[in-house]
Structure 1
Amino acid sequence: MPVPPVPLEITEQIIDFVAQNDTDFATIKTCALVCSTFLHLSRKHAFAAIVLNDREGPRNAPDSRRRCTFSQLQDLLSLRPEVGAHVRYLSYRFTLLDLENPLPSDAFAKISRLQSLTIYTGDELLVRHEFLRNCNTLRLALLHLLHLPTLKSLELARINFVATDMLSCKDLDSLSIQCVSAVGTADVSACDLPGRPMRLSKIIANTKSFSMISKLLALQCANKEPFVDFDYIRNLEMSIKTAEDVQTGHALLRRCNYLSSVKVYFETWDAEKEHKFTQFRFAEMLRPSMQTITILSFEMMYNKDIADFDPLAGLAHELNAMKSVNIIESITIDVTVHPAGTSCARENEWKRLDEALGQSGWPRLREVSLKIVLLSCLSFRLNDGLLEALKELPRTQFCRLSDSKTVDLKVEVLEERL
């Protein structure tokens, strides 16, 4: 069919609009059959996001994504090499088969404009196996992607990684690490060292990432300056689940001076102890960025074996220490409680939060959001009195915040079945 008598820019805008909700590519495939111009424009969406070896893909995968095996992707790129230029998001899940049949070193050579890369595995054997160090051809294949100047986002999860390979990623904007162990180093000549540092704006340090983070902090540029320029980091997310995670948090916060948004996932890691933010010295660690942070978010999960606990893990004390030295505008607190945590309605802890945030010392605070999720199961039913007591918190415990004319208080209490 001949090209429709419509300006190319208008045609592209129409196909872009159609593709927004076309998660199964049905409409896009139809457009591709109209003419060669539509075929090219449709491929931009049909092959923009590819998930390898995983039916579902990671949580951050785009809704519109193509799921396939590597052999299927290889066949596609061999038949239609121009498709590689359209791939923007690639998620690669290692499998045990990759140990037996490693990818060729030029496996991803035709992918030239990748913007986001996720590398992970769900196999426990591979988590323990020094996969990326031993499988040299696979490592070379991935190094091609890491070298791409278009790559802005990298997520590593449940793998071992050669730390010096990060030197290839000087143009990254966002880095996420979870359960990653740094293994060995590769020989890097002086001429291969980056001439300028990596200027991340966002870093996510999930649990068990201390090994990789510590190696990353030790990397240097050609001029001996640190490879990561922490003055550019504005958004920091971290998980505190183990004692090692505390070390990771301290290592990062000591270097970040201009954060604007901080999110912390806090979970008890010892069933016999109640860990608190005071042990983490949270307010002290945030002090370098206290004049730039505008958003604070907390997610807390409590071990079901702790029956009597502070539902806020000492957070009220730490927030109180931040008064008068901050420009925070929004605070979000999500608390998830296992069935045994019936003491989460005790009054003193919620009152302390109201006292900390409801008094002067928060000149720009405009929003406080509190969400409490109570988990129940067949063997443990929550009593209605507990639910009602928590729903009444704005009236009974948050008197200052509820009466505030400048702060919008939102409280939500939910019950979820396990």
Structure 2
Amino acid sequence: MSSTGAESPMHIGRVHHGHGTTLAFKRLLSNSSDTANHIRELAVNITKEDLREIGHAETFEKMMQLQALTVISSRHSQLLFFNETKQFSWDDNPIRQGLLHLLHLPTLVSLHLQSIEHFIVSDLVPCTNLKHIYLSELSIARTSPSARITVFPIQPRSLFCGTRSAPIFLEMCAMQCGDGSPFFDLSRVTDVTFEVVKPQDLKYLRRILSHCKSLVSLKAINYNNLATPPDFKTSTIFLNIFSTTTAESIQTLKRIDMIISFSDSYSTLRDKGDPFRGFVDALENIEKIEDITIEVVIEVGSTYGLLAKWARLDQVLTRPGWSTLRKVSLTIKTHRYAWDPSNHVAQTIEAFPKTHFSGLSSHNFVVFDFRHVSRTK
């Protein structure tokens, strides 16, 4: 666990060799009742040892002013209150009541849940003050008990929709308050980040974004691998999102971030030398953007970086029509094999602002920020 106090940070965690300090954390709160009231942020990395120890629920219930809660299950834990995938089961565990106490505190504004099975969506009903919600690798409980919906909706400002989490957001969107208004009101959301791997993710996300009427920043994370369909390109993500169903959101959108990762040699070949996977082509339809940030991660060695068609970005963004564009950031991350002492690839890529992006580099109104990060494998 780790926690942060209002005056000074406290880091209380379980180290990798297994000698934890969870008991010390519990003793600290037991010996000083006032300490718990100063904790504003709490991160819980749940392990089998945590679930074996008695008193966690009572420890959590001492905290009354928590503002940010992170709950992540340890992927390396042995099976104990974990399901067959070694992920923490939200609906049946010894510390559930303590977690619900933290979750339902009126002071809580930020929630991060990751690697959790059987999450009960109705547990979020009392969380009407949440402004920032981060969900990743979650599954919904098969039988989610019904709950009386409060008249006060959740009106978040930012969403992170990670792997397998879109259905939870959609179930929340379907819930209604007593007067028929949306319980999960996304009309004030300004920032959305999502991870996309499969085409089904797009269908979910288009529905989520259709509820966002004040979107300012949109970030997509596209880690393609062998499990990704061959015809599923990054351009598909944005060309589908920027459709008539999200036209209202596009009018307010000012910033786009994109992370593209080539995790294997197959994924680099099937994109026919396009390091942006068609993302640049999709940009041609949204010329009102002010800030574009792109990160390309090449996991298969740096040679591919020399063969890719990088100049396409320069060609599109220097055309007439980008009257509101003010900044373009491009980061290229490559890996160099330890047995290869040559620095030729790095030198070539670092010269890209002159050789491939001369238009953006010399632009009078657009700031071009280019970076190359090289790591040894």
The TM-score bracket by the shorter chain reads 0.7 to 0.9
Alignment RMSD (CA, Å):
2.8
Q: Is 1:159 paired with 2:116?
A: yes
Q: Is 1:298 paired with 2:258?
A: yes
**What does the per-residue CA deviation read over 1:25-55, in whole Å, with 9 as the maximum and x for residues that have no partner?**
xxxxxxxxxxxxxxxxxx7534x55545467
The Cα shift of 1:103 comes to: 4.6
**What does the per-residue CA deviation read over 1:271-299, in whole Å, with 9 as the maximum and x for residues that have no partner?**
68364222223552564322212221111
- Unaligned stretches of 5+ residues in structure 1: 1-42, 57-66
Summarize the alignment of residues 122-201 of structure 1 with structure 2, pairs less than 5 Å apart.
122-123=74-75, 125=79, 126=82, 128=85, 131-135=89-93, 137-160=94-117, 161-185=119-143, 187-190=145-148, 193-201=149-157
Amino acid at match of 1:332: T
Q: TM-score, normalised by structure 1?
A: 0.77
> Structure 2: how far apart are the matches of 1:304 and 1:353?
23
The counterpart of 1:88, out of the listed 40, 53, 60, is 40
Contact 2:37/2:64 (8 A) holds in 1: yes
The counterpart of 1:79, out of the listed 5, 12, 31, is 31
Q: Is 1:412 paired with 2:371?
A: yes
SS of the aligned residue for 1:212 comes to: helix
Identical-residue share of aligned pairs (%)? 25
The Cα shift of 1:322 comes to: 1.4
Q: Is 1:342 paired with 2:303?
A: yes
The Cα shift of 1:388 comes to: 3.6
Range 177-186 or range 111-120, more displaced = 177-186
> Structure 1: how far apart are the matches of 2:13 and 2:281?
46
SS of the aligned residue for 1:321 comes to: coil
The counterpart of 1:289, out of the listed 249, 258, 272, is 249
Count of residues in Structure 1 that have an aligned counterpart in Structure 2: 357
Contact 1:84/1:112 (8 A) holds in 2: yes
Contact 2:302/2:345 (8 A) holds in 1: no
> Structure 1: how far apart are the matches of 2:10 and 2:183?
29
2:224 matched residue in structure 1 = 268
Summarize the alignment of residues 336-375 of structure 1 with structure 2, pairs less than 5 Å apart.
336-340=297-301, 342-346=303-307, 349-375=309-335
- Unaligned stretches of 5+ residues in structure 2: none
Distance 1:378 1:364, change over 3 A: same
Contact 2:173/2:185 (8 A) holds in 1: no
SS of the aligned residue for 1:313 comes to: coil
Distance 1:386 1:97, change over 3 A: closer
Contact 1:218/1:226 (8 A) holds in 2: yes
**What does the per-residue CA deviation read over 1:55-107, in whole Å, with 9 as the maximum and x for residues that have no partner?**
79xxxxxxxxxx930x3333222222121111101111211134445656443
> Structure 2: how far apart are the matches of 1:343 and 1:98?
45
Q: TM-score, normalised by structure 2?
A: 0.84
Amino acid at match of 2:35: V
Contact 1:197/1:229 (8 A) holds in 2: yes
Summarize the alignment of residues 10-409 of structure 1 with structure 2, pairs less than 5 Å apart.
44-46=6-8, 49=10, 51-53=12-14, 68-69=21-22, 71-101=23-53, 103=55, 105-123=57-75, 125=79, 126=82, 128=85, 131-135=89-93, 137-160=94-117, 161-185=119-143, 187-190=145-148, 193-270=149-226, 273=230, 275-280=232-237, 281-282=239-240, 284-285=242-243, 287-306=247-266, 307-308=268-269, 309=271, 310-323=274-287, 326=288, 328-340=289-301, 342-346=303-307, 349-378=309-338, 381=340, 384-409=343-368
Amino acid at match of 1:334: E
Contact 2:301/2:336 (8 A) holds in 1: no
> Structure 1: how far apart are the matches of 2:6 and 2:248?
43
Task: Give the helix-richer structure, 1 or 2.
Answer: 1
Query: Which structure has the larger Rg?
Result: 1
Distance 1:134 1:266, change over 3 A: same
Contact 1:358/1:401 (8 A) holds in 2: yes
The Cα shift of 1:188 comes to: 4.4
The Cα shift of 1:236 comes to: 0.8
